[in-house]
């Protein structure tokens, strides 16, 4: 602890949200005040996609309307936190502002969601891959570095690059649902160099779940190669009215 104090004064850390000087705290780049504004997903969620229905008094339906009309290829998906001003900012910093340094804090936030971590237990996390052109520009795959940070916090999971991106696709942001589906259609292939049991528990992992097009395309490719015990997990997901 003494060494940590010394390092903090030589190389000061500040909260990435409010700029407060940090000496000691649970997180590296989040102060106590800002970290408390991160809200974990609640108990009232869709059994399929994990959509958070919010704090409601009545019994929530087992599935949201989207899942009733969608053919998702995963057994179920869970997100760790609700999307709000703080989590939206964290995602933006991670993806577009060289925020690789935040990966450990992402993992620590997710670790606080016990039901979420239960899904990951004894599973193999399969990060949604980026095309090499996107990695060249960003220098890292945000989903992969969060997954690897989670792996460091738990001995009950591991990360494998079981999928690879075969073609460069435009960003999904701004596209309609059907356009998103077409954009990522046949954009992933399995990494045949990795040999694992087809009965193992796979968890396709991404930072944000929006329409599910990208994750679903990944799951579809895995199923095509004989995997069937497929789940999905994300840091957060976009809200729906």
pTM of the prediction?
0.90
pLDDT at 240: 64
State the pLDDT at residue 187: 87
Domains of the chain: 1-36 (no CATH), 39-237 (3.40.50)
Mention every residue, 6+ apart, whose C-beta is less than 8 A from residue 50. Answer: 41, 76, 77, 78, 79, 209, 237
| Tokens found for residue 8 | 């903090």
- pLDDT at position 1: 44
Block residue for tokens 């701004």: 174
The per-residue pLDDT for 31 is: 94
Please report the pLDDT score of residue 7 as a whole number: 54
Quote the DSSP letter at residue 17.
T
Per-residue pLDDT at 8: 55
Please give the average pLDDT of every successive group of 10 residues along the chain, which has 241 residues: 52 89 86 95 92 72 83 96 96 93 96 96 96 89 96 90 89 76 86 94 96 94 97 91 51
Q: How far apart are CA 200 and CA 196, in angstroms?
A: 8
CB of 70 closer than 8 Å to CB of 219: no
pLDDT of residue 147: 97
């Amino acid at each position: 602890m003494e060494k940590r104090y010394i390092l903090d004064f030589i190389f000061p850390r500040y909260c990435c949200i409010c700029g407060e000087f940090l000496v000691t705290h649970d997180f590296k780049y989040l102060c106590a005040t800002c970290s408390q504004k991160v809200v974990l997903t609640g108990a009232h969620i869709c059994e399929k996609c994990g959509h958070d229905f919010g704090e409601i008094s009545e019994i929530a339906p087992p599935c949201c309307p989207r899942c009733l009309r969608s053919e998702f290829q995963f057994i179920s998906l869970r997100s760790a936190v609700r999307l709000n001003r703080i989590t939206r900012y964290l995602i933006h910093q991670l993806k577009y502002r060289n925020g690789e340094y935040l990966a450990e804090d992402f993992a620590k936030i997710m670790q606080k969601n016990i039901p979420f971590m239960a899904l990951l237990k004894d599973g193999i996390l399969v990060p949604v891959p980026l095309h090499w052109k996107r990695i060249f520009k960003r220098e890292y795959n945000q989903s992969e570095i969060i997954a690897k940070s989670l792996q460091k916090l738990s001995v009950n999971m591991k990360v494998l690059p079981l999928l690879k991106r075969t073609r460069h696709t435009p960003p999904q942001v701004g596209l309609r649902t059907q356009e998103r589906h077409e954009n990522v259609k046949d954009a992933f292939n399995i990494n045949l160099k990795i040999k694992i049991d087809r009965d193992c528990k796979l968890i396709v992992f991404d930072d944000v779940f929006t329409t599910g097009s990208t994750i679903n395309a990944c799951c579809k490719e895995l199923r095509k190669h004989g995997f069937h015990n497929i789940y999905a997990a994300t840091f957060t997901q976009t809200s729906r009215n």
